[in-house]
């Protein structure tokens, strides 16, 4: 064998080795890429027990309730940049809050409207047209009609729960959203803050008497009295150390209490939920509302027929709370204030004003500014 044949054979051998190494490296890279692709998928269980898998963190979201922009605002610094469409409840029932949102995010006016679930104007066609990566539904109101159309269109959706079982489901709802949106760190930071504040109250309620509370939803100075049944505000009142008398009479989430029943139960505290245009002549409270405006408004509410005769009202054991804290993770601020209302001597050190300031500074994408509660007991001192 001459030297030329030896060189040729060696070159062929070296080329075969290099080619084998290249193929092996390519296969390894492909396997690694496929593994990475598989590990970026996200699987969660939503608040009605559905297992939902997404290929990765979502970028385009449809909110069935526009008020949930406050929830997204706890996770995103610019939540509207991720909203492809939303419901119109915020615009209809809290225009002051919507104006506060627009002040910081003018693009709010250009987000497509998909209607509202509670009045059956919600449009699945508009949801599908928005081409979202995810639709976020809540458990406030009825199950969306035609939701199976999202399944057929291949559009994933989840249910959060800040309404039916808020004390149980708020933490898992927030952690689920953090996972789906790629905001685990932000979600955990909020959950830690929430747990700290709720635990500070619950640990000190043991052994205290629970006052009977009449929760008057959307009081208008005339009719008496729509209230909360099981879940939602009744749970928040319980977390604040009270008992809503509505749960013993109302079988569902809400209903009407007769004045006769109320007088018979003789509530220890009269609490108005207001700030919604669902009651045009209701308690003026919330964003852009001054303390004087709230005080004047609750005075009118307390002079309503029947209400003025309640022992709690006569003794100035009455107050008002902003309704839009509820059905969002921010309800714990309202719980702090209600705790002070129901147990003023035992919870003098609780400071919901400071809590709201901290939320605005550390978590909220846009600040909540205005008057969100009033306690006639403090005002009368």
> pLDDT of 70-83, one tens digit each?
999 999 999 999 99
- 21 in a domain, yes or no? no
Q: Which two tokens stand for residue 330?
A: 């921010």
Least confident of 190-199, 216-225, 254-263: 216-225
Residues 83, 93: contact at Cβ < 8 Å?
no
- Please indicate, yes or no, whether residues 65 and 166 belong to a single structural domain of this protein: yes
CATH of the domain at 140: 3.40.50.1980
**Structural domain count, the chain:** 2
At 281, the pLDDT band (50, 70, 90 cuts) reads confident
Q: Indicate left, alpha or beta for 207 from its phi (over 0: left) and psi (-120 to 50: alpha).
A: left
Alpha carbon distance 324, 315 (integer Å): 27
- 6 in a domain, yes or no? no
- Please indicate, yes or no, whether residues 287 and 241 belong to a single structural domain of this protein: yes
Alpha carbon distance 217, 26 (integer Å): 66
- 198 in a domain, yes or no? no
Closest CA to 212 of 270, 171, 282: 270
- Please indicate, yes or no, whether residues 233 and 92 belong to a single structural domain of this protein: no
The pLDDT, as a whole number, for residue 8 is: 40
The pLDDT, as a whole number, for residue 378 is: 59
- 252 in a domain, yes or no? yes
- 11 in a domain, yes or no? no
Mean pLDDT of 297-313: 93
Omega of the bond leading into 225 within 30 degrees of 0 (cis): yes
Closest CA to 235 of 368, 118, 327: 327
- Please indicate, yes or no, whether residues 177 and 212 belong to a single structural domain of this protein: no
- Please indicate, yes or no, whether residues 154 and 47 belong to a single structural domain of this protein: yes
- Please indicate, yes or no, whether residues 171 and 134 belong to a single structural domain of this protein: yes
- Please indicate, yes or no, whether residues 220 and 170 belong to a single structural domain of this protein: no
- Please indicate, yes or no, whether residues 317 and 363 belong to a single structural domain of this protein: yes
Mean pLDDT of 32-44: 62
Which value, in Å, is the radius of gyration of the alpha carbons in the chain?
Answer: 27
- 326 in a domain, yes or no? yes
Distance of alpha carbon 201 from the chain centroid: 20
- 49 in a domain, yes or no? yes
Mean pLDDT of 158-171: 96
- Please indicate, yes or no, whether residues 151 and 258 belong to a single structural domain of this protein: no
Give Cβ neighbours of residue 317 (< 8 Å, ≥ 6 apart): 268, 269, 270, 376, 377
Least confident of 73-77, 119-123, 350-354: 119-123
- Please indicate, yes or no, whether residues 320 and 361 belong to a single structural domain of this protein: yes
pLDDT of 24 over the 50 cut: no
Residues 286, 94: contact at Cβ < 8 Å?
yes
The pLDDT, as a whole number, for residue 130 is: 98
- Please indicate, yes or no, whether residues 242 and 321 belong to a single structural domain of this protein: yes
pTM over 0.85: yes
Maximal CA-CA distance, the chain: 119
pLDDT of 381 over the 80 cut: no
At 204, the pLDDT band (50, 70, 90 cuts) reads very high
The pLDDT, as a whole number, for residue 29 is: 42
Residues 336, 236: contact at Cβ < 8 Å?
no
- Other Cβ atoms within 10 Å of 363 Cβ, number: 17
- Please indicate, yes or no, whether residues 351 and 216 belong to a single structural domain of this protein: yes
What percent of the chain shows pLDDT beyond 70?
89
- 13 in a domain, yes or no? no
What range does the domain containing 77 cover? 42-181
pLDDT of 21 over the 60 cut: no
């Amino acid at each position: 064998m001459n030297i030329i044949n030896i060189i040729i054979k060696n070159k062929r051998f070296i080329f075969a080795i290099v080619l084998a190494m290249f193929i092996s490296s390519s296969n390894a890279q492909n396997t690694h890429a496929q593994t990475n692709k598989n590990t970026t998928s996200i699987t969660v269980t939503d608040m009605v027990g559905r297992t939902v898998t997404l290929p990765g963190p979502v970028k385009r979201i449809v909110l069935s309730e526009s008020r949930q922009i406050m929830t997204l605002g706890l996770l995103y610094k610019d939540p509207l940049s991720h909203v492809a469409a939303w419901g119109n409840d915020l615009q209809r029932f809290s225009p002051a809050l919507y104006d506060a949102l627009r002040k910081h995010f003018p693009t709010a006016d250009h987000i497509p409207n998909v209607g509202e679930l509670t009045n059956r104007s919600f449009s699945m066609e508009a949801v599908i047209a928005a081409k979202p990566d995810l639709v976020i539904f809540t458990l406030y109101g009825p199950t969306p009609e035609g939701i199976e159309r999202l399944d057929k269109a291949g559009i994933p959706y989840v249910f959060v729960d800040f309404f039916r079982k808020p004390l149980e489901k708020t933490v898992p709802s927030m952690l689920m959203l953090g996972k789906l949106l790629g905001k685990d760190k932000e979600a955990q930071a909020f959950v830690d803050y929430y747990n700290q504040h709720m635990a500070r109250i619950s640990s000190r309620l043991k052994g205290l008497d629970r006052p009977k509370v009449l929760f008057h939803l959307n009081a208008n100075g005339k009719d008496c009295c729509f209230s909360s049944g099981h879940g939602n505000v009744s749970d928040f009142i319980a977390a604040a150390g009270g008992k809503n008398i509505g749960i013993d009479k109302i079988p569902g989430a809400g209903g009407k209490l007769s004045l006769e029943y109320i007088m018979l139960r003789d509530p220890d505290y009269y609490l108005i939920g207001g700030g919604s245009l669902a009651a045009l002549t209701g308690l003026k409270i919330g964003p852009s509302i001054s303390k004087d405006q709230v005080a004047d408004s609750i005075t009118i509410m307390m002079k309503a027929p029947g209400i003025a005769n309640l022992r709690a009202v006569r003794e100035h054991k009455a107050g008002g709370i902003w309704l839009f804290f509820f059905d969002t993770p921010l309800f714990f601020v309202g719980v702090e204030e209600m705790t002070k209302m129901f147990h003023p001597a035992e919870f003098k050190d609780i400071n919901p004003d400071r809590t709201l300031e901290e939320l605005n500074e550390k978590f909220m994408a846009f600040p909540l500014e205005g008057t969100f509660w009033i306690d006639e007991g403090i005002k009368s001192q």
